[in-house]
Copies of this chain bind each other. A is one copy, B any other.
Amino acid sequence: MKKSIFYHAGCPVCVSAEQDIVNLVGTENVEIVNIGQDRNRISEAEKAGVNSVPALVTPNGNTLHINFGASIADVKG
């Protein structure tokens, strides 16, 4: 199965959601990307439809925004 991608920015809401998603989906099925640190992946996240973090992009390309940590604008700013 193609992996999901979990985008976050290190915020407390992000860390909590990351643990939940990894538990639910399995660590081998999800790539974790910190766009606060890995800033060259911000545009990739935006193209996938990520408006806020944490967000999970599923293998079929749907974006699930999970709770609310920070907007992409905040991460960029």
Contacts and interface: CB of A to CB of B under 8 A. Distances in A.
A20 B58 CA distance: 7
Interface in A33-77: 56, 58-60, 62, 64-68
A25 interface: yes
Nearest to A63: B67
Contacts of A23: 58-60
A59 to B, nearest CB: 8
B67 A67 contact: no
Nearest to A25: B24
Interface of A: 4, 16-17, 20-21, 23-25, 29, 56, 58-60, 62, 64-68
